[in-house]
Structures are given as structure tokens and as C-alpha cells.
């Protein structure tokens, strides 16, 4: 799981950067709205801060999925991964509804694409962890195994 895990982290870093730069390309109206009314979203105007935030979220998701894959039964790990997949799908659907029915529809296609890439990378992470083979780790070593090493 080590090599696949590193590759997945690198893919998440690249997708977080792409997503953040697209999100930062919001419309002029969106920038004014954030500057005047929604100051809590100022982070989305800076692509580097947005990339760091999105990457931390993706890493958190990946670490939770990896921990379940490594330290729990296969059934439990798959249930947790499917739960994360459902959360990501609902998030993507909600994002689409939000972008088509609220004032966010004026935020430009780049902004929308950045968020869709974020949810897509979450789904990619979950599906990847579902299909990565898990190494069987013995919990206890017997005296015979200890003497051989």
C-alpha cells in the first residue's frame, strides 16, 4: 500500500493546486461580494491558501480511509469507504444545485470547475482506497517467529 499511497498523495496535491487556481478565478462580482460581505471566504481569493486547505482536507480523508483499511477488518474499511463515497456524491450534487439555483451561478465556470474537481478528487481517493490491496499484518508474533528474525 506504500507506493500506491504516495502516488495518491501526489495526485491529490496536483488536483488541489488545479482546483485552487480555478476557484481563485472567480468573477468580479464574486470578489466584491467576498471583500464586502462574506469576509470569512477571503481564503478563496488566494490560490495558495485555497490549495493548502483543499489538500489538507484531501489528506485528512485519505488518512482516515487508510487507517480503516490498515487497522480494521476489510468489511469495516469498505463500509467506511462507501460512506465517504456517498458523502462526496451528495456534496457534488449539492454543489451543482447550489451553483445553478443561487447567486453562485454568477461566479464563473472556472470557479464551478474548481469545486467539481475537488469533489471528483475526493471520489477518486475513495475509489482508489477501495481497490488497493491490503497487506496482512500479524498482530502478535510467536516466540518461534521472534527467534527466526
Cβ–Cβ under 8 Å, residues 21 and 48: no
pLDDT tier at 29, thresholds 50, 70, 90: confident
Task: Indicate if the pLDDT at residue 82 is higher than 70.
Answer: yes
Q: What is the pLDDT of residue 1?
A: 57
Task: Indicate if the pLDDT at residue 93 is higher than 80.
Answer: yes
The pLDDT of 81-97, averaged and rounded, is 95
Dist CA 128 CA 29 (whole Å): 38
Cβ–Cβ under 8 Å, residues 130 and 81: yes
**3-state DSSP of the chain:** CHHHHHHHHHHHHHHHHHHHHHHCCCCHHHHHHHHHCCHHHHHHHCHHHHHHHHHHHHHHHHHHHHHHHHHCCHHHHHHHHHHHHHHHHHHHHHHHHHHHHCHHHHCCHHHHHHHHHHHHHHHHHHHHHHHCCCCCCCCCCCHHHHHHC
Burial of 38 from C-beta contacts in 10 A (0-12 / 13-18 / 19+): exposed
Handedness of CA 94, 55, 38, 106 (dihedral sign): negative
Which has the higher per-residue pLDDT, 88 or 111? 88
- Condensed to tens digits (0 to 9), the pLDDT of residues 112-137 reads 899 999 999 999 999 998 888 766 55
Dist CA 57 CA 61 (whole Å): 6
Amino acid at each position: 500500500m506504500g507506493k500506491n499511497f504516495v502516488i495518491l498523495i501526489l495526485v491529490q496535491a496536483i488536483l488541489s493546486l488545479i482546483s485552487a487556481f480555478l476557484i481563485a478565478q472567480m468573477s468580479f462580482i464574486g470578489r466584491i461580494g467576498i471583500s464586502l460581505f462574506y469576509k470569512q471566504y477571503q481564503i478563496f481569493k488566494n490560490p495558495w491558501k485555497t490549495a493548502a486547505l483543499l489538500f489538507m482536507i484531501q489528506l485528512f480523508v485519505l488518512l482516515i480511509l487508510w487507517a480503516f483499511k490498515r487497522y480494521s477488518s476489510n468489511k469495516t474499511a469498505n463500509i467506511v469507504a462507501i460512506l465517504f463515497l456517498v458523502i462526496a456524491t451528495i456534496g457534488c450534487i449539492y454543489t451543482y444545485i447550489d451553483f445553478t439555483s443561487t447567486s453562485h451561478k454568477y461566479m464563473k465556470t472556472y470557479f464551478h470547475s474548481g469545486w467539481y474537481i475537488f469533489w471528483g478528487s475526493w471520489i477518486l481517493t475513495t475509489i482508489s482506497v477501495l481497490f488497493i490491496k491490503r497487506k496482512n499484518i500479524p498482530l502478535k508474533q510467536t516466540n518461534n517467529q521472534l527467534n527466526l528474525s
